Amino acid sequence: MAESWTVLKLLRWTAEYFAGRGVDSPRLDAELLLADLLQLDRVGLYLNFERPLQADELGAFRERVRRRAGREPLAYILARTEFWSLPLKVTPAVLIPRPDTELLVEEALKRPSGPARVLDVGTGSGALAIALAHERPAWRVTAVDLSPAALAVAAENARTNGVAERIDFAEADLAALPGGPYELVVANPPYIPVADLAGLMPEVRDFEPRLALAGGVDGLDAYRALARQAGRLLTPGGWLLVEVGIDQAAAVRELFAAAGLAEIFTARDLAGIERVVGARHL
Ligand SMILES: C[S@@+](CC[C@H](N)C(=O)[O-])C[C@H]1O[C@@H](n2cnc3c(N)ncnc32)[C@H](O)[C@@H]1O
């Protein structure tokens, strides 16, 4: 039977199967899973449409298909993703970094000029810390998380991307952040209201770490903690920049204003959604 499955036939079958299981981009996911297995890029896959699959390849692919059809995220199956065009390892201990979060990098890069001390709160895979250290060799980054397993992944990612000497990783609770002062504090904290968790898509709800998602009753717990500590954490003139969930920007601006922060601004993502709120300690 093995010789009857060519790359093209397998892709068609898998895409249809994924579609029936509610997978968002069935053909693309089928291609990425098979290309990775055969150690080809997608163009390589297209050039090999008539290539028959060996029995061991079919067995390994079937296992991947089973996982994705069970709605496990593609990035966990491949154990890697990209953020800011940098390769990152991901495991179920870390949130899969989202393209939306690149807006926080863009906004952060506009702010401190010259050397800066930077704190990344809830670093997860290390996405923000690594992107900032990669873009700004003069910045010294401290990256904290409550999860030791996440910190291990982040530290490995920092080494892979050649920025390990410029990032210190530490286990810390965002309710009691260490050190400072910093010229810049960034955070993409957990911000989903707990009542909304059950309604998330299965890829997120059933596979991503709850610690990375749950933000308290209204989703704003982490922003309250950050606003409360901002005066102590930031240098005079230092910036606090956070990613926010849909419809949270106004509440976060209010929290920042009530904490005495100034020059409050909001940045929208490509879809026009308020995605980043920033403010300054003067
Ligand atoms: C939404 S994820 C963001 C991960 C990464 N910064 C990114 O943007 O992809 C939030 C992170 O905050 C961490 N976290 C949750 N509660 C925390 C707490 N109380 N103290 C420190 N980190 C926490 C989680 O472990 C998770 O890695």
In tens, the pLDDT along 118-157 reads 999 999 999 999 999 999 999 999 999 999 999 999 999 9
Q: Is the CB of 180 under 6 A from ligand 1?
A: no
78: in domain: no
Do residue 7 and residue 115 come from a single domain?
no
Q: How many domains does the chain have?
A: 2
Each residue's pLDDT tens digit, 221-280? 999 999 999 999 999 999 999 999 999 999 999 999 999 999 999 999 999 999 999 999
Q: Look at residue 2 in the predicted model and tell me its pLDDT.
A: 44
In the beta sheet, which residues pair with residue 120? Answer: 143, 186
Average pLDDT score, the chain = 97
84: in domain: no
Each residue's pLDDT tens digit, 17-74? 999 999 999 999 999 999 999 999 999 999 999 999 999 999 999 999 999 999 999 9
Expressed in angstroms and rounded, the spacing between residue 11 Cα and the centre of ligand 1 is 36
Do residue 231 and residue 156 come from a single domain?
yes
pLDDT band at 205 (very low <50, low <70, confident <90, very high): very high
Output the domain CATH number for residue 8.
Answer: 1.10.8
**What is the DSSP secondary-structure string of 82-140?**
EETTEEEE--TTSPPPPGGGHHHHHHHHTS--SSEEEEEES-TTTHHHHHHHHH-TTEE
Do residue 106 and residue 195 come from a single domain?
yes
62: in domain: yes
Judged on CB neighbours under 10 Å (0-12, 13-18, 19+), 165 is exposed
Expressed in angstroms and rounded, the spacing between residue 34 Cα and the centre of ligand 1 is 31
Q: Is the CB of 97 under 6 A from ligand 1?
A: yes
Do residue 103 and residue 229 come from a single domain?
yes
Do residue 196 and residue 273 come from a single domain?
yes
Q: Look at residue 3 in the predicted model and tell me its pLDDT.
A: 53
Do residue 59 and residue 190 come from a single domain?
no
Segment 162-166 shows an average pLDDT of: 98
Give CA separation, 218 vs 18, 195, 247, in Å: 34, 9, 11
Segment 151-179 shows an average pLDDT of: 97
Residue numbers of the domain that contains 223? 91-280
Q: What's this model's pTM, rounded to 2 decimal places?
A: 0.96
Residue 147: CB partners within 8 Å, gap ≥ 6? 93, 94, 209, 211
80: in domain: no
Portion of the chain with pLDDT greater than 90, in percent: 96
Do residue 119 and residue 180 come from a single domain?
yes
Do residue 62 and residue 105 come from a single domain?
no
One-letter identity of residue 76:
Y
Expressed in angstroms and rounded, the spacing between residue 70 Cα and the centre of ligand 1 is 25
Q: Is the CB of 190 under 6 A from ligand 1?
A: yes
* pLDDT exceeds 90 at position 180: no
